[in-house]
Each structure stands twice: as C-alpha cells, then as structure tokens.
Amino acid sequence: MTEIITSSQNSFVKKLRELNDRKIRNTQRKLLAEGPKLVAEALKEGLTPFEALIEEGHVSLLADIVHDLSEKGAEVKACSAQVLKSIGETRTPQGIAVSFSMPTPFDLKKEPALIAALDGVQDPGNVGGIWRTADAAGFGAVLFSDGCADPMSPKVIRSAMGSAFRLPALCSTDFVQNLITLRDSGFRIIVSALDGEDFFTAMPEKNGKCVLVIGSEGHGIRPSVRECATDVLRLPMQGGAESLNANVAAGIMLYSLSFGLHRR
C-alpha cells in the first residue's frame, strides 16, 4: 500500500461510498462495514471482503486485519483521514471501511423454534438493537417486513454489531403470508399490542415454537398482521408510563420467551 488516496472522488472511494444507497447494495449484494470490530466479525462469520480502505495512521495498528483481508482476496488501499470520513455517516471513523458480501438470507423452511419478526420498525437503531438482542437471547432468525428500515444499511449494521452477520434474517416480500405459513406449521404468532393480555401470565408453555412480532414505533402492528396472531400480549405497566421504546419492550419479551420456553 504505497499509494495514499487523498481525493474523495477517487473511483475506489466511490465504490465504497455508493453502498450507502439501498438500491446499489441490493443490486451488488454488498454491505459496508466500518470499524475494526465489525470488520473482524464479518471476517469471522465468513463474509467475502471486496474493497477495503485503511486510514494511513491505522495501517500498522490494523496489520492483522489487513493481512486477513488480503488473504481473503480483498483489494486493500490506504487513504487520508478526510477521505475515510467521506465514506460513511459516522462522525469519528474508526480507521477502516470494507465492502463485504451480504449474508445468505434466512430460509423460512428451516423453521427454528424462535423467530423475531419486525413489522414496520423504521428506526435503524431499534432494528439493529432488536436484532442484536434476538441473537443474544438465542433466537434462530429475524423476519423483516418491507416497511422496516433496511437491515443492510450501515446504521443498522452498526447497531446490530456482529449479530447482523451471525443471526440469519429475511427481508420478506409477503410478511403476512409468511406468518400464516408459520402459524399453519405449528408456530404461535405472538403479537405485541397495548390492548393485549398480560404477557407474563399468558406466555406460552415450555418448548413451544413461536414468532414474536414487534410493531412500528408510531403505529404498532398492522391490522392484517394482527389477524395472523394466535396471541395478542402486552407488557404490564406498573408505573405511570403508557408504553416502552420498541427496542426495550422487544428485549424484555425476547429474553422472557427464550428463557421461559427453551431454557435448559
């Protein structure tokens, strides 16, 4: 890496910057990972690296990652701090940005026992946070409706951390039909709604298969999705708050279902 890229208009830089655009990501089947931790996680999970930019002051610090990227066939180049900053939306880039192949989408036919489903959750931080929590709680997959924030966007990838590469996901083109198919194959479809039954008293029995559906921050679950439900549940509010942030509410229910239904 003798050449140091100093222009944000360099064609190599543009390749990475273009991955902030959803259409280009989907067409190329690539995502953008920023920072050594995310890059290391993507490599660990077997994603294929393509282009990598390293800030010139970080080349020696990231020598092991640079070696792994090169070994995997990535084209690695150094750049100025300003060029790296022009690629992503983070105010303080962490020295590296890499394009990777997207993870293989989740195959609905595999039917893991626990599935998290997001219906129109639009905040990237919530989408990534729920994805990460589902991974930590031992869920087998995440299903996204087409109204959700793009799961492969840099903001979601950062929020989900390595879970976006590790826990399989599917961006559904027919979310309602997917839920119906799962229900017909024996899954309980648990929908979170403020007018539902008490979550902790109506939670399913142990060892059951279930899908937990989390609705959008502003509008909740769509009526068509609610019609698929076998259970409509709510978290009881002991204090004065009327509701919880989608990420927080999902975390409580994800862990409760995982440990209640399948804890060894």
Q: What is the pLDDT of residue 262?
A: 60
Instruction: Using the predicted structure, report yes or no on whether residue 264 has a pLDDT greater than 50.
Output: no
Instruction: Using the predicted structure, report yes or no on whether residue 243 has a pLDDT greater than 90.
Output: no
208: pLDDT confidence band, cut at 50, 70 and 90? confident
Q: What is the pLDDT of residue 178?
A: 96
pLDDT in tens, 27-47: 999 999 999 999 999 999 999
69: pLDDT confidence band, cut at 50, 70 and 90? very high
- Per-position b or e across 42-66, b if 16+ CB within 10 A of its CB: bbeeebebbbbbbbbebbeebeebb
- Section 52-59 average pLDDT: 94
Structure-model confidence comparison of residues 220 and 172, the more confident one: 172
Least confident of 64-73, 86-95, 248-257: 86-95
1: pLDDT confidence band, cut at 50, 70 and 90? low
This prediction's pTM: 0.92
Residue whose tokens read 């929590």: 133
pLDDT in tens, 111-136: 899 999 999 999 999 999 999 999 99
Question: CA dist 105 to 18, 63, 180, 186, 217, Å?
Answer: 22, 31, 20, 22, 25
| CA 157 – CA 154 distance, rounded (Å) | 5
74: pLDDT confidence band, cut at 50, 70 and 90? very high
Q: What is the pLDDT of residue 263?
A: 54
